[in-house]
Structure 1
Amino acid sequence: IAQQCVALRGQLRAAGYESEILALRVERRVAGQAQIFDASHIKREDGLLYHHSIGSDVTAFAARHPGPKCLIYHNVTPAEFFAPYRPGFAWMLETGRAQLPRLASCFPVSVGDSAFNAEELRTCGFHSPGVLPIIIDPAKWNFAPDAALMDQLQDGQTNLLFVGRIAPNKRQDQLVEAFARYRKLDPRARLILAGDGQDFDPYFQRVREQVARHDLRRQVHVTGQLDDAALLAYYRTAHLYWSFSEHEGFGAPLVEAMWFDVPVLAFGGTAVSETLGDAGALFDAEHDLERIAELAFALAHDTTNGRRAGALAAQAARRLRFLPANVADALQQIIIRMETTAHR
């Protein structure tokens, strides 16, 4: 959500609007990008773009705001993914999802960052929700990667990459299982799980236990939280982006991988197939892990008479859909709708 807030603020300022990001808590890594939320700083006539996911103390304020406003929905992960591992967090997710129908009458304008999310808003009673895709701007990567990490990763091994926090809906456990089969085809391969895991999290423990059971401690790298220079190094050296995630409201790393000409292989559920369009390679629940591993090997090593080249060409076309200029029109339409509904 943070990256989209920054991108939208840039679009709004470029269009001549004053725009600021307000949040209840601001992490250190984005400390210069946002201000701590203070209701007294928001005037009645101010336009409000409220980003909703799990919900927070800001939700009630946004619902009551009398000025022009729009709810931007980034999806709430279904609670059942977390219930076996973190029931308290599952309750928070369930509560956040339950808020949606009650918010429908408070926001005459709403959008999802995918048609998948917009449809969820529609089922919750929102009127004519639109779509405002996540902005993926390759210009954000115009800096040097971590040089030492680049050297480590360019050692002749195959780098298979997934980007995302360690979480049950991301299904890193299935990815590890598939990687164990992949290694039979490509013994000189490593799996990079570029994301943070918490030691107290039972699901993270499950993933680590699977890694140990397959004796893959040296081949599976869980990076923890990364700075941008390290993440850039992982993208630039990846041979394949591989995702088993079963629930995505959009899937920004899928598009980021496209910008680095990394072929994408992903489970095609929820919004993933929409984000990829006709680019990338998809699999479903009917595919067994051996077949998926074979497809991963074919894409990583281009053993299918140019399939990798064809995939990259399709990805090069698809990634343009999410450039700032191509999302600007959708944002402008939202502003027009906000102004129109505010004067009714």
Structure 2
Amino acid sequence: MRVGLLASLLSRQATYRRAGVSRYIEALLQYLPGVAPDLEIIAYTSRTVWRAARAEFPPAVAWRVTRWPTERPSVRIAWEQLVAPWATRDCAVIHGPVNVLPLALARPGVVTVHDLAFVHFPEHYPAAKRWYLRLLTGLSVRRARRVIAVSETTRRDVVRTYGIAPERISTIPNGIDADWRRVDDVELERWRRQQGLPERFLLFVGTVQPRKNLTTLLEAFARLGPEFPWPLFVVGAAGWLDSPIYRRVEDLGLARRVRFTGYVPPEELRYWYSAATIFIYPSLYEGFGLPLLEAMACETPVITSNCSALPEVAGDAAVLVEPTDPLAIAAAIQSLVMDEERRRMLAQAGRERARQFTWERTARETSAVYRTLGEQRSGERGGEAV
């Protein structure tokens, strides 16, 4: 059975576009050929991405390349809605991996919904992006034969917001690679010296944008006082509406204690997680929260929000706080700083929790959705023939 995966958002740019949903697409292309050799996976993307990325994926992945510069959002949207229905006409199933499907598809479609942050926090999005996501996500989940939600939280959001029948939605969580684990101590120490990092520091990983709630984290960090000896590193590319975040650092007098690294490639992230003493992720809303999982796999104690999908991912392996309360965040940080034994217990619990989430599982369960749709289509065609 031939499956068309719309991979326009697969990115190799050194920007926030290589995080999150790009890594989801990358994982599907890496793992689907191994867990579902009976499926023919065809990735649709731009010539630029194909040239940069094709050597990284299994030979079994077939590529169909467009000359349209779909790295540009407006071009990508036009291609998906105007060209993709025709370009994918020989596929049995079409997968829109990031919230949106071509609406004129002649074949069964499955769409993955990662979150509905644009519904809950519309003010955190530029107007054009907010309008596009609200319109096209709603139309796509109603058009799709099957919806994949990356968490139970997202599944419930889709049911409530769009009135989709729960039985049409499959919850398939994100994952991590099997070899994503804490870096060896000797190698880590060598890397730490190369980077000039202190022995202990706090870490945040994510795109610098309003929903990640960095302003509240900065306020919490400021409340720890100038005598607090550990710096805070913010690892992630600049996103959108981020200027107030950088201004807040200056306003709070934190310029010498908070360091923004900018974009860090995925292969280096494991070193940052492993070197950090505490990982803090106080996001206001996440459909899953991949950095949380990555930090736990690297045995780094985690403080995260008590809302959206984050408790679902963390289980009992993290400290949960109210993300809008800087006093609560500061108290959680101070408590872990003073309690080395609790940090050790959280590190161990996080490692065990993270083992439950793998990209191989994600790919296997996704392939089962493809097969179900393919069988349904075969049954419908058989019925028509009779």
* Structure 2 residue runs without a partner (length 5+): 1-20, 57-62, 67-82, 381-386
Report the secondary structure of 2:262's partner residue: coil
- Over aligned residue pairs, what C-alpha RMSD do you find? 3.0
Please report how far the alpha carbon of residue 259 of structure 1 lies from its aligned counterpart in structure 2 after TM superposition.
1.1
Which of 20, 33, 48 aligns to 2:94? It is 48
Matched, 1:316 2:327: no
Please report how far the alpha carbon of residue 30 of structure 1 lies from its aligned counterpart in structure 2 after TM superposition.
5.9
Please report how far the alpha carbon of residue 277 of structure 1 lies from its aligned counterpart in structure 2 after TM superposition.
1.8
Deviates more, 1:110-119 or 1:91-100: 91-100
Change (3 A) 1:245 1:150: farther
On the 8 A contact 1:161/1:241 being kept in 2, the answer is yes
Report the secondary structure of 1:111's partner residue: strand
Aligned ranges 1:118-267 → 2 under 5 Å: 118-123=155-160, 124-127=162-165, 128=167, 129-139=169-179, 150-156=193-199, 158-183=200-225, 187-197=228-238, 203-267=241-305
Alpha-carbon distance in structure 2 between the residues aligned to 1:42 and 1:165: 32
Please report how far the alpha carbon of residue 4 of structure 1 lies from its aligned counterpart in structure 2 after TM superposition.
1.4
Matched, 1:334 2:369: yes
Report the secondary structure of 1:262's partner residue: coil
What TM-score comes out, normalization by structure 2 length? 0.75
Alpha-carbon distance in structure 2 between the residues aligned to 1:26 and 1:139: 29
Report the secondary structure of 1:133's partner residue: coil
Deviates more, 1:320-329 or 1:163-172: 320-329
Q: Deviations over 1:199-227 (max 9, x none)?
A: xx5x4221222211222112111111112
Change (3 A) 1:95 1:324: closer
* Structure 1 residue runs without a partner (length 5+): none
Please report how far the alpha carbon of residue 145 of structure 1 lies from its aligned counterpart in structure 2 after TM superposition.
7.2
On the 8 A contact 1:82/1:168 being kept in 2, the answer is no
Alpha-carbon distance in structure 1 between the residues aligned to 2:286 and 2:318: 16
On the 8 A contact 2:284/2:323 being kept in 1, the answer is no
Which of 131, 137, 158 aligns to 1:100? It is 137
Query: Which amino acid is 2:280 matched to?
Result: W
Instruction: Number of aligned residue pairs: give it.
Output: 327
Query: Which amino acid is 2:91 matched to?
Result: E
Alpha-carbon distance in structure 2 between the residues aligned to 1:23 and 1:169: 28
Which of 310, 317, 320 aligns to 1:282? It is 320
Percent of aligned positions with the same letter in both sequences?
Answer: 22
What TM-score comes out, normalization by structure 1 length? 0.83
On the 8 A contact 2:116/2:154 being kept in 1, the answer is no
2:40 counterpart residue number: 18
Change (3 A) 1:334 1:282: same
Alpha-carbon distance in structure 2 between the residues aligned to 1:219 and 1:18: 51
On the 8 A contact 2:305/2:320 being kept in 1, the answer is yes
Change (3 A) 1:166 1:29: farther
Alpha-carbon distance in structure 1 between the residues aligned to 2:342 and 2:180: 29
Please report how far the alpha carbon of residue 137 of structure 1 lies from its aligned counterpart in structure 2 after TM superposition.
1.1
Report the secondary structure of 1:49's partner residue: strand
Alpha-carbon distance in structure 1 between the residues aligned to 2:338 and 2:51: 36
